[in-house]
Amino acid sequence: MTNIPDYFGSLVFDDRVMKAMLSANTYRSLKKTIKEGASLDLSVANAVASAMKDWAISKGATHFTHWFQPLTGITAEKHDSFISPAPDGGVIMEFSGKELIKGEPDASSFPSGGLRATFEARGYTAWDPTSYAFIKDKTLCIPTAFCSYSGHALDKKTPLLRSMEALNKQALRILRLFGHTDVKRVNTSVGAEQEYFLIDRELYKKRKDLIFTGRTLFGAKSPKGQEMDDHYFGVIKPRVQEFMSDLDEELWKLGVYAKTEHNEVAPAQHELAPIFTTTNIATDQNQLTMEIMQKVASKHGLVCLLHEKPFAGVNGSGKHNNWSMATDKGVNLLSPGETPYDNAQFLIFLCAVIKAVDDYQDLLRIAVATAGNDHRLGAQEAPPAVVSIFLGDELTAIMDAIVNDKPYSAQEKTTMKLGVDTLPKFNRDETDRNRTSPFAFTGNKFEFRMLGSSNSIACTNIMLNSAVAESLRIYADRLENAENFDEKLHEMIKKTFSDHRRIIFNGNGYDEKWILEAEERGLSNYRTTPDCMPHLLDEKNVKMLTGLGVFTIEELQSRCEIMLENYCKAVIIEANTMVDMSRKEILPAIVKYSADVAMNLSRKKTVLPELACNFEKTLVSKLSILIDRIDETTDELENATLEVRDVSDTIQQGYAIRDTLLGKMSELRAVCDEAERITSEEYWPMPNYGELFFGV
């Protein structure tokens, strides 16, 4: 396939297909449901279901599934065929509106955090008409929400849709005050840059840690890593380019706007960036992207690693969440325009974001909290665990001018002159790209860089949408009751800039001085998941999230429990894997190498007693000491793991992992990595970092 427009979206039941296959009345009714949230009549659902079935079958589909996003972090699906018995003993292909709208999967084995008892197994999936159905592996996939028998959300889509609606409602209130009565909806849009590693599949199969946990739990530093900065934007290797080409084609068929691909900083690391789309669709498509990446990699004899920190000592993988707000008329509410100082509408929406990030910095940290991301934050170009906002010089100067009631004089744009007449001259951007900032303004959007590569972007955007909606709600309440709108507006903008100045930081987020300064400013610094997760249930967070209708208190309690439980399970699996690898692979390998060196030493001394053999003697001595240390440290880790596993309270278990288990894991890794450095490669039982980095 070479003509991309001909096959782009060919596996998606999108607007083009609906317009062609539905009657005019059915199409209008469905579009009204999608755009305005109007209820969907069963007759319309039946017509849509029939058209979906016919279209899917024409594309080779034989089954359908309600495709949903439970609280496991991945997607779920149960396949049903289109076949129904025919009177003559054959089959007919059927799909009803009832089957389209609602499914009844067994919810008993999905995480619920106490929202249901084990015997309350039934759950419901409900069609989300705002996200297009698509075909994957000959199955019609229908994006759905997922709830318990009692109606509580058991997924990530439902709260995301609620948060989008909350922000839409409050943003419209603000826009009405500026006279925009024609605007019917405000959507948030997201472009999620996805980082990942590609390694050879045969090497992957030889590492239990990668298979069981997604990251290397052992590994001495390679002679070469990312020191030369030669991989970033470097020439893409043929095997990787073939993977990327196939990945683009598969994603384009599914309507995913895969746009940019390049080598990232670490060896074997790469990135894919899509074009912006509505947050709900972007979330669905990012989940699809991660799944398709792994499938396509397998076809090329590769494995796609999505763990946040698969290798120590080099960059981890993040997922940069580029977020903005726009009206249904196409106006970006975060676009400063030519004169941002005089653009009051832009400034009030900017203020809403600044206030939201400062007031709910803990929720943004919670939204990216996983065992994997804890290893990544604060090192090798990942932002620190302290949340701050980078505004750039111009917006910061505007903010200071407003706070100090001083006029702002816009500086002339700097023309970039490169000293060669044939090269074009262009104006310098008003904001730099601060790679150390967790939350950076980048021209007409904010880039949130704290997400880990395997995270669903739903969690972050739920919290971001909700926090901004709350700021807008507060502003709207005050402005709607103001005697003088302009005066009240100026007062609120000035007060926001003044009250929330502490969250603005344009400097180096890696500098230890900043971490100390941030704490002096009163910013939170939750270094680990157990540190931050309990704060989900802080009174201010519960009040905001339940007040906007994004979560119920029960749903918040369940998510706190589930996310902490997932953290604990992940780390305990890692600890068990380390014990297993140490005992069954690493220790036997070192013992064999040590024995062979000792045997050679004995033979040498027998033949030539006068030889000193200092190297062999020293090596055997070092190896013997290391064998004892590894054995002892392995026992300590195993005992610590058993103790941690017996802690019944999830919060206390998280603290025990943070305070005890992680330290024991680091100790075992350190001594095993030391042994790897002096053990012959032919004895070492697994591929080393150099092979993994440069084996593709």
User: How many angstroms separate the CA atoms of 400 and 273, rounded?
Assistant: 34
d(CA 288, CA 652): 35
pLDDT tier at 612, thresholds 50, 70, 90: confident
User: Is residue 409 over pLDDT 90?
Assistant: no
> How many Å apart are CA 676 and CA 642, to the nearest integer?
27
> How do the domains of the chain map onto residue ranges?
4-155, 163-551, 567-694
Q: Is the pLDDT of residue 98 over 60?
A: yes
Given this model, what pLDDT does residue 427 score? Answer: 53
Q: Is a pLDDT exceeding 70 seen at residue 422?
A: no
Q: What percent of the chain has pLDDT over 90?
A: 75
CATH of 4-155, one of 3.40.140.10, 3.10.450.630, 3.10.20.70, 3.40.1390.10: 3.10.20.70
pLDDT over 90 at 563, yes or no: yes
In one-letter notation, the amino acid at residue 668 is: L
Q: What is the mean pLDDT of residues 53-69?
A: 95
What pLDDT score does 607 carry?
Answer: 81
- For residues 622 and 614, what is the distance between their CA atoms, to the nearest angstrom? 12
The neighbouring-strand residues paired with 194 are: 272, 319
Task: Say if residue 675's pLDDT is above 70.
Answer: yes
Q: What is the pLDDT of residues 253-279, one digit of tens each?
A: 999 999 999 999 999 999 999 999 999
Model confidence at 298: pLDDT above 70: yes
**What CATH class has 163-551?**
alpha beta
With beta carbons less than 8 A apart as the criterion, state whether 138 and 540 touch: no
Average pLDDT over residues 500-515: 90
CA distance 575 to 563: 19
Q: 545: burial class by Cβ within 10 Å (0-12, 13-18, 19+)?
A: buried
pLDDT, tens digit, for every residue of 614-639? Answer: 889 999 999 999 999 999 999 999 99
What is the predicted pLDDT for the residue at 523?
96
Q: Examine the pLDDT at 39 and tell me if it is beyond 80.
A: no
Residue 340 has pLDDT above 80, yes or no: no
Type of residue at 2: T
pLDDT for 549 beyond 60: yes
pLDDT interval class at 180 (50, 70, 90): very high
119: pLDDT strictly greater than 80: no
In tens, the pLDDT along 139-151 reads: 999 999 998 877 8
Of 5-14, 80-89, 462-471, 584-593, least confident by mean pLDDT is 80-89
Is the pLDDT assigned to residue 117 strictly greater than 80? Answer: no
pLDDT band at 72 (very low <50, low <70, confident <90, very high): confident
| Residue 424 in this model has a pLDDT that exceeds 80 | no
* CA distance to 61, 408, 497, 539, per residue, from 402 (Å): 60, 8, 8, 32
DSSP state of 326: E
Q: How far is CA 238 from CA 242, 245, 259, 480, in A?
A: 6, 10, 19, 60
pLDDT of residue 426: 42
Asked if residue 371 has pLDDT above 80, the reply is yes
- Cα dihedral sign, 64-69-71-73: positive
pLDDT of residue 419: 55
Using alpha carbons, select from 498, 504, 563 the residue that is nearest to residue 537. Answer: 563
DSSP β-bridge partners for residue 374: none
Give the pair of three-digit tokens for residue 490: 């100026």
512 falls in which pLDDT band (50, 70, 90)?
Answer: confident
What confidence tier does 168 reach under pLDDT thresholds 50, 70, 90? very high
Q: Are 175 and 307 in contact (CB under 8 A)?
A: no
Tokens encoding 238: 């043929």
Which pair of tokens denotes residue 446? 């904010």
Look at the pTM and tell me if it is higher than 0.75: yes
| 113 pLDDT more than 60 | yes
Residue 52 confidence (pLDDT):
94
In three-state form (DSSP H/G/I as H, E/B as E, the rest C), the secondary structure along 73-88 is CCCECCEEECEEECCC
Share of the chain above pLDDT 70, in %: 93
Q: How far is residue 371's CA from residue 530's CA, in Å, rounded to a whole number?
A: 9
Q: Which residues contact 205 (CB under 8 A, 6 or more apart)?
A: 211
- Which residues neighbour 668 within 8 Å (Cβ) at sequence distance 6 or greater? 578, 582, 630, 633, 634, 636, 637
Structure-model confidence comparison of residues 39 and 33, the more confident one: 33
Dist CA 568 CA 558 (whole Å): 15
Average pLDDT, rounded, for the chain: 91
Question: Lowest-pLDDT range, 274-288, 311-325, 608-622?
Answer: 608-622
Residue 418 has pLDDT above 50, yes or no: no
Pairing of strands 63-67, 439-441: unpaired
Q: How far from 461 is each of 188, 191, 323, 397, 651, CA to CA, in Å?
A: 9, 11, 8, 28, 25
Which CATH code of 1.20.120.1560, 1.10.260.40, 3.20.20.70, 3.40.50.10190 fits the domain covering 567-694?
Answer: 1.20.120.1560
Q: Are 613 and 597 within 8 A, CB to CB?
A: no
Cα–Cα distances (Å) from 163 to 113, 351, 462, 547, in that order, read 21, 19, 6, 11
pLDDT of 374: 94
Give which of 48, 73, 28 is closest to 569, Cα–Cα: 73
CATH topology identical between 4-155 and 567-694: no
